[in-house]
């Protein structure tokens, strides 16, 4: 029976008003009144081997056990990927193994393990650490918490060999996802070829021969990336730290090779890191969107790419399913050093 008491109605209106005040904005601006829910994102403007180690240590979570360092090895003809000389210090600091998976598209030098290993050698990664193509001996299914589109996540079988992951991503644009940061690096990047197909088609098919026939559900694809990133995080019991390097930021991914990738039009911004992948990718997006353009430093193409592909939705959905928070606080390591 509906209660018409004025007292209860007044209380209800007060609660509703309070809820509206406390709601986070759904755009890129965060509500400063929600500091208790803010995740910490560390930042340094300096992009160097030393800064990578410094920001890793600032996180306060030691990489222990068998450590996987997940990177993109970069497609042939693409020069924007994170270079071995930049990441070597961090990889050695944690006694890590560089991990990657094969692609689900052609043309690609990373389509087969044989040609992928050749490219890994040409790009110099095997000179700084062991390199494990995690799906070289097959794949495996791991549980997903969010079953909106996926029944499971299909990852490289060798993921089972690791206790801890450093998700070391190159933040940039992406032809299909709009943007590529740690969420993409942990979803598409850790998935086998079948897993990539499964994510791209929002759970429709696993056979790579059918990928492009079922790849029209854009938001389903973006939400599937969020679910897969969460699956890997949970599989490793939260033993993951997240780093985005904001350099060489083209509108295209490092997977666009053979000289076809658009040149970077934004000046390098720095390195950001967090224990919260949602906050981290959101902070990177905000840095791009809040940049004041100047000659030789144009954020318009990357903003257009992110908006056109609804790229922010991966981050939105990752927050919705509980992987992290879009509210964050930046801790500037450069300011602390002064």
Element (H, E) at 48: none
316-328: pLDDT as tens digits: 999 999 999 999 9
Q: Which of 242, 227, 329 is nearest to 286 (CA)?
A: 329
CATH topology for the 40-337 domain: Rossmann fold (3.40.50)
**pLDDT tens profile 90-129:** 999 999 999 999 999 889 999 999 999 999 999 999 999 9
**What residues have CB less than 8 Å from 161, skipping those under 6 apart?**
66, 132
Place 14 in a pLDDT band, splitting at 50, 70 and 90. Answer: very low
Spatial separation of the C-alpha atoms in residues 122 and 226, rounded to whole Å: 32
Per-residue tokens: 144: 């997903």
pTM flag (> 0.85): yes
State the number of CA atoms in the 13 A half-sphere of 302 facing the CB. Answer: 31
Classify 37 in phi/psi space as left (phi over 0), alpha (psi -120 to 50) or beta. alpha
Q: What are the DSSP E strand ranges found in the chain?
A: 39-44, 67-70, 97-100, 131-133, 139-142, 153-156, 164-170, 172-174, 178-180, 240-246, 270-274, 328-332
CB atoms within 10 A of CB 144: 22
pLDDT for the residue numbered 117: 98
Average predicted confidence (pLDDT) for the chain: 90
Q: Domain locations in the chain?
A: 40-337
pLDDT band for position 35 (cuts 50, 70, 90) = low
**Strand partners of residue 328:** 39
Residues of the chain above pLDDT 90, percent: 85
Segment 154-165 mean pLDDT? 98
3-state secondary structure of 70: strand
Distance in angstroms (rounded) separating the CA atoms of residues 74 and 256? 8
pLDDT at position 8 is 34
Average pLDDT rounded to a whole number, residues 47-73: 98
183 burial type by CB count under 10 A (0-12 exposed, 13-18 middle, 19+ buried):
buried
pLDDT at position 102:
97
pLDDT at 36: 62
């Amino acid at each position: 029976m509906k209660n018409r008491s004025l007292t209860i109605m007044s209380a209800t209106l007060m609660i509703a008003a309070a809820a509206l005040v406390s709601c986070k904005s759904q755009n890129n601006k965060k509500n400063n009144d929600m500091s208790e829910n803010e995740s910490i994102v560390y930042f340094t403007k300096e992009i160097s081997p030393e800064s990578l180690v410094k920001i890793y240590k600032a996180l306060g979570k030691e990489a222990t056990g068998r450590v996987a360092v997940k990177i993109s090895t970069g497609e042939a003809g693409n020069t924007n990927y994170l270079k071995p000389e930049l990441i070597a210090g961090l990889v050695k600091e944690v006694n890590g193994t560089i991990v990657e998976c094969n692609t689900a598209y052609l043309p690609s030098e990373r389509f087969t393990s044989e040609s992928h290993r050749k490219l890994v050698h040409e790009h110099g990664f095997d000179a700084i650490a062991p390199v494990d193509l995690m799906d070289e001996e097959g794949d495996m299914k791991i549980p997903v918490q969010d079953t909106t589109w996926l029944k499971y996540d299909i990852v490289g079988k060798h993921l089972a060999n690791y206790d801890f992951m450093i998700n070391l991503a190159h933040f940039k644009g992406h032809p299909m996802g709009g943007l590529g940061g740690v969420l993409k690096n942990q979803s598409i990047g850790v998935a086998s070829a079948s897993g990539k197909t499964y994510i791209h088609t929002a759970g429709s098919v696993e056979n790579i021969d059918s990928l492009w026939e079922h790849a029209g559900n854009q938001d389903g694809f973006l939400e599937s990336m969020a679910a897969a990133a969460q699956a890997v995080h949970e599989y490793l019991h939260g033993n993951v730290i997240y780093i985005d390097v904001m350099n060489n930021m083209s509108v295209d991914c490092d997977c666009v090779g053979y000289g076809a990738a658009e040149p970077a039009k934004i000046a390098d911004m720095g390195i950001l890191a967090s224990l919260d992948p949602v906050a981290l990718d959101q902070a990177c997006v905000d840095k791009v969107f809040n940049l004041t353009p100047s000659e030789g430093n144009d954020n318009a193409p990357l903003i257009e790419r992110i908006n056109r592909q609804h790229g922010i939705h991966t981050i939105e959905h990752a927050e919705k399913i509980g992987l992290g928070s879009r509210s964050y606080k930046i801790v500037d390591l450069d300011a602390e050093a002064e």
